[in-house]
Structure 1
């Protein structure tokens, strides 16, 4: 019995190691590339033994990209700030609008309620190219092209449906009897929502907010069409590394490392809420 148990543990350990290597090796290789020059990266056969350099990160921070065709000004740090500002602002607005809406859909039954909820969800799954043409025309008429307000508005197509549907499920998992007992004590509906429903759904809210932030951070198409270089996030700004003299692989790798660092740090910080929030609905019985 002990021999079988030990064998199972060994097999489980080997499988877990294989999975970790499969998923983490590309990240490891990208990190190595970020400390190499283009000549080292393109060397055949590739090697993990090299003389590291910080020139790629220096180019990103200073905004001066050196290539065979000459120096090129890039605004990577500005693009990085744009990504953070657009994603954080979009998620904040989506939480303010989506949490009360999710509670209303979870607690109240009204005419066309499910149809409205499904319509909002369909925005999340609709191809971006489907709405880009009419959006670009409307944005030109309203003067929202190449503005932060316009991009944050469009990002609600990403964040709001996601938060609405995820948080709605957690509100439905909360027993209405808890809220009724609190209301009987003389508390208002608003106070019950703020003091009882929201704290109980906090893991789900945190998970939905984190996922919405990641999806907004990774968005590419909306900002590419509706914003110019000074408003574009880092996903679009990375196109600057594809120059006429070639592709700057080292700078791209360094840009990837700096781009994933904020979302990775946020995910590590909120992992307890993320795991708890995503698993809460799985035991609904």
Structure 2
């Protein structure tokens, strides 16, 4: 029986239950924001306040000036930030160029052992990075790829490529085959049908996988920590510099972390309208 035809008592209890559920969700949401609030507050604290846990303090932007090198003390954070952008964007672009056709082929052309092949590709993503880091370090030094942006872009394919292929494979599998067949009947070649018909309609999937791949590439720590030293070092590694020496500067680490979180956030805001699947998916099925 719906609440519309229920008595006043039932409707009142239903409203109370709904209000309690909403209140619980709000409390949980605020609780989940506490780490973010704490790290932002820590980035605004002076040295004398960085070990305190209270939120009432005199905020200062000196930590951001120090990290960016605006206080005259010198800093390499901007260079490492740009190196992170270069390697992350480059890794995503390479994964898209190779992974999009691979995902389409995996969704359309099935053969004996194809599932095992896809599982093997996925295992590259979940295998511990420490498992391959020692031979990779030796190979990179011999090939001259150590501490280079090209080397980082290629090694990050172990992180981004499986995501691109597996996620886009499901999007291509959901795409109605009838639309492709109609394009082929109209005289399109297989390649032109893929470019003109399929790709525009799977843009939500491409946008979603770009965001996920960029976040995983941007946040990676083991590969840049082991395979770079200065030229191609990323912000995830460079922030450790503030944890050494005679004084640990947690406020500087927090300031660097806040700025390092901006690119994924800006990218998510920029492509959020593409993150919902298009209405055309499943339009012919059923």
Tell me if TM exceeds 0.5: yes
1:58 counterpart = 2:59? no
- Provide, for residues 157-191 of structure 1, a one-character-per-residue CA deviation record: whole Å limited to 9, x for no partner: 01111000000001000111110011011111111
Deviation at 1:271, TM superposition (A): 2.6
State the partner residue of 1:265.
Answer: 266
CA contact (8 A) 2:80 2:233 kept: yes
State the partner residue of 2:5.
Answer: none
Pair 143,206 (structure 1): closer, same or farther in 2 beyond 3 Å: same
- Give the unaligned 5+ runs of structure 2: 1-9
1:42 counterpart = 2:43? no
1:9 counterpart = 2:18? yes
Deviation at 1:84, TM superposition (A): 1.0
- Provide, for residues 49-70 of structure 1, a one-character-per-residue CA deviation record: whole Å limited to 9, x for no partner: 22111110000111769xxxxx
User: What is the CA–CA distance in structure 2 between the aligned matches of 1:249 and 1:64, rounded to whole Å?
Assistant: 18
1:23 counterpart = 2:24? no
Equivalenced residue count is 273
- Give the unaligned 5+ runs of structure 1: 66-70
Deviation at 1:87, TM superposition (A): 0.6
User: What is the CA–CA distance in structure 1 between the aligned matches of 2:128 and 2:42, rounded to whole Å?
Assistant: 33
User: What is the CA–CA distance in structure 1 between the aligned matches of 2:273 and 2:180, rounded to whole Å?
Assistant: 26
User: What is the CA–CA distance in structure 2 between the aligned matches of 1:48 and 1:116, rounded to whole Å?
Assistant: 52
State the partner residue of 2:235.
Answer: 234
State the partner residue of 2:152.
Answer: 151
- Identify the structure with the greater strand proportion: 1
1:93 counterpart = 2:94? yes
TM-score (norm 2): 0.89
TM-score (norm 1): 0.90
- Provide, for residues 237-279 of structure 1, a one-character-per-residue CA deviation record: whole Å limited to 9, x for no partner: 11111122121011111111101011112112223333548xx
State the partner residue of 1:68.
Answer: none
User: What is the CA–CA distance in structure 2 between the aligned matches of 1:22 and 1:276, rounded to whole Å?
Assistant: 30
Over the aligned positions, Cα root-mean-square deviation in angstroms equals 2.1
Deviation at 1:111, TM superposition (A): 4.5
